[in-house]
């Protein structure tokens, strides 16, 4: 993987961390387990919990790429942690193979009656093919691939360098639609291939990123060279892609699936500890469907699907602190680990986010999101949040309906000032919103950004 630099502890800076190549952070070494296509068994989950407890500080994080991070591993215990994770079958011992295994699969297409097909076999073939192709080990860090089958757990909302979306053709056949540099609705289409050709097609497209020296991510390559080189890579494999975009659906609601095939368990900020993870496995085994084998599947919504588990699991999950109610306002809160867990973080981001929750009830009830970042790097930040806070020292700059790099609408200010400002924003949103479907971004588009900012400042002044 290009861009990696290891220190004397084997930790990597400047690349996407893993297990074989961990990353140094403020609370020790961070080990990232790659997205497990098809999920883990309860025994594997228990093994991960044991490693987090024995070799780390017990803190774990679910990520927006469907990965799981173990925090606080000590250099002296690193080898033991690595060996235990490889032995459990949840990690790759080869850092080069691990570094390119960035394939995110829709988590429950085998159980979802609304999915086009079960994409798990194709997703595994794509991931294994990329890992086995040594030429592709030069891909830029974080080059991401999505394999999606639509349905309730579809992941059309996830941005990827390369997407493979299962689609049904007019003649009834199944194909995978390859597109690059975007989400399901806006990625640039390349063509459609048969399922048995999907893994080869994916490698051919990714190989075109290596034509640049050094290789670049897809967005930069598209901007510089256009789509033609990537279409040419599929010349004899693909048929026309068609023009219908893949529709985006929201994440499935926490709780039991409508057809009872899984329980969707979310955690505030995607953070949990080893004891909670171990108990997830216990709950899955105790409440598995008769004759079934439960699996625990990581999602890009920083949550876990307990597949093959039913309604009886809700009570013990709630006792663990799991979010199982769709209206829980904590679902709208996001934050990086912040200080002291991250050396770059300057604020206690998650504590601050919980404080600010009370300032924006109308926004959170409408499904809007608040994200708090402890520095300007924006680790784990969404592409766009209704309210984005970026720490500057002990203060926060505030951006409405923007990403981590967007110009702030208000400069950095103390938390108390930000709290008051968000209360004013919430009041303006509740008063000015014309329909229940109108989002904050819609409001900004209708009234103008300056108009919304002015109304918030007037509300704050009169409060």
Best CA proximity match to 145, nearest among 336, 305, 300, 264: 300
Cα(151)–Cα(184) distance, rounded to whole angstroms? 13
Please measure the distance between the N-terminal and C-terminal CA atoms of the chain and give it in whole angstroms: 54
Cα(102)–Cα(17) distance, rounded to whole angstroms? 11
Tell me if 253 sits within 8 A of 264, measured CB to CB.
Answer: yes
Tell me if 38 sits within 8 A of 66, measured CB to CB.
Answer: no
Cα(452)–Cα(122) distance, rounded to whole angstroms? 47
Give 408's DSSP letter: P
Residue with tokens 């961390």: 17
Q: Where in the chain is CATH 3.30.413.10?
A: 116-149+158-232, 330-462
Tell me if 217 sits within 8 A of 143, measured CB to CB.
Answer: yes
- For residue 372, the cross-strand partners are 335, 389
- Residue 5 confidence (pLDDT): 38
pLDDT, tens digit only, all 463 positions of the chain: 444 434 434 554 445 799 999 999 989 999 999 999 999 999 999 999 999 999 999 999 999 999 999 999 999 999 999 999 999 999 998 999 999 999 999 999 999 999 999 999 999 999 999 999 999 999 998 999 999 999 999 999 999 999 999 999 877 799 999 999 999 989 999 999 999 999 999 999 999 999 998 999 999 999 999 999 999 999 999 898 876 666 667 789 999 998 899 999 999 999 999 999 999 999 999 999 877 789 999 999 999 999 999 999 999 999 999 999 999 999 999 999 999 889 899 999 999 999 999 999 999 999 999 999 999 998 888 877 899 999 999 999 999 998 888 899 999 999 999 999 999 999 999 999 999 999 999 999 999 999 999 999 999 998 7
Cα(397)–Cα(448) distance, rounded to whole angstroms? 20
- Residue 3 confidence (pLDDT): 43
Residue 343 burial (CB < 10 Å; 0-12/13-18/19+)?
exposed
- For residue 335, the cross-strand partners are 372
Q: Where in the chain is CATH 3.90.480.20?
A: 1-99+256-325
Best CA proximity match to 182, nearest among 201, 200, 155: 155
Token duo for residue 438: 């109108």
Cα(385)–Cα(350) distance, rounded to whole angstroms? 16
Cα(201)–Cα(239) distance, rounded to whole angstroms? 12
Q: In the chain, what's the furthest Cα-to-Cα distance?
A: 67
- Residue 244 confidence (pLDDT): 65
Tell me if 397 sits within 8 A of 370, measured CB to CB.
Answer: no
Cα(110)–Cα(95) distance, rounded to whole angstroms? 30
Best CA proximity match to 32, nearest among 385, 379, 389: 379
- Residue 378 confidence (pLDDT): 87
Strands (E), 173-276: 174-182, 188-193, 255-256, 262-266, 271-273
**Which pLDDT tens digit goes with each residue over 231-271?**
999 999 989 887 666 666 778 999 999 889 999 999 999 99
Cα(198)–Cα(337) distance, rounded to whole angstroms? 37
- Residue 172 confidence (pLDDT): 75
Which run of H or of E encompasses 281? helix 274-286
Q: Report CA torsion sign: 352, 354, 355, 359.
A: positive
**CATH class of the region 116-149+158-232:** alpha beta
Tell me if 268 sits within 8 A of 235, measured CB to CB.
Answer: no
**Which pLDDT tens digit goes with each residue over 308-336?**
999 999 999 999 999 999 999 999 999 99
CATH of domain 330-462: 3.30.413.10
CATH topology of domain 1-99+256-325: Sulfite Reductase Hemoprotein; domain 2 (3.90.480)
- Residue 245 confidence (pLDDT): 62
**Share in percent of the chain as helix, strand, coil (round to 5):** 35, 25, 40
């Amino acid at each position: 993987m290009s861009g990696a630099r290891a220190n004397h502890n084997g930790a990597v800076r400047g690349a996407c961390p893993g297990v074989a190549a961990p990353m140094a952070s403020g609370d020790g070494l961070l080990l990232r387990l790659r997205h497990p296509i098809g999920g883990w068994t309860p025994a594997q989950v228990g093994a991960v919990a044991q490693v987090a407890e024995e070799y780390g500080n017990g803190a774990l994080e679910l990520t927006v790429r469907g990965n799981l991070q173990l925090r606080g591993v000590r250099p002296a215990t690193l080898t033991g942690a690595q060996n235990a994770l490889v032995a459990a079958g949840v990690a790759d011992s080869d850092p080069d193979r691990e570094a390119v295994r960035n394939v995110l699969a829709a988590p429950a297409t085998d159980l979802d009656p609304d999915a086009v097909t079960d994409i798990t076999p194709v997703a595994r073939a794509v991931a294994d093919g990329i890992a086995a192709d040594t030429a592709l080990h030069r891909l830029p860090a974080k080059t991401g691939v999505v394999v999606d089958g639509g349905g309730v757990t579809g992941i059309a909302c996830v941005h990827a360098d390369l997407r493979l979306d299962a689609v049904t053709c007019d003649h009834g056949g199944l194909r995978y639609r390859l597109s690059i540099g975007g989400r399901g609705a806006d990625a640039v289409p390349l063509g459609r291939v048969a399922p048995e050709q999907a893994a080869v097609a994916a490698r051919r497209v990714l190989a075109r990123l290596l034509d640049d020296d050094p290789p670049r991510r897809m967005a930069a390559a598209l901007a510089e060279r256009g789509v033609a080189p990537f279409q040419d890579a599929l010349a004899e494999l693909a048929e026309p892609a068609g023009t219908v975009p893949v529709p985006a659906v929201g994440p499935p609601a926490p709780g039991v699936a409508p057809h009872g095939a899984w329980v969707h368990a979310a955690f505030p900020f995607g953070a949990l500890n080893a004891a909670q993870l171990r108990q997830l496995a216990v709950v899955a085994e105790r409440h598995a469907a008769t004759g079934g084998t439960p699996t625990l599947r990581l999602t890009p919504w920083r949550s876990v699907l307990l597949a093959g588990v039913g309604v009886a699991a809700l009570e013990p999950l709630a006792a663990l602190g799991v979010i199982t109610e769709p209206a829980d306002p904590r679902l709208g809160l996001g934050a990086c680990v912040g200080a002291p867990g991250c050396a770059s973080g300057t604020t206690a981001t998650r504590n601050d986010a919980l404080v600010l929750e009370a300032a924006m009830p109308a926004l959170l009830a409408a499904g809007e999101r608040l994200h708090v970042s402890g520095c300007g790097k924006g680790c784990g930040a969404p592409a766009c949040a209704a309210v984005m806070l970026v720490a500057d020292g002990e203060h926060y700059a505030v951006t409405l309906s923007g990403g981590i790099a967007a110009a702030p609408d208000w400069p950095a200010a103390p938390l108390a000032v930000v709290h008051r400002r968000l209360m004013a924003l919430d009041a303006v949103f509740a008063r000015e919103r014309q329909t229940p479907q109108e989002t904050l971004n819609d409001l900004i588009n209708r009234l103008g950004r300056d108009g919304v900012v002015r109304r918030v400042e007037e509300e704050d002044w009169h409060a």
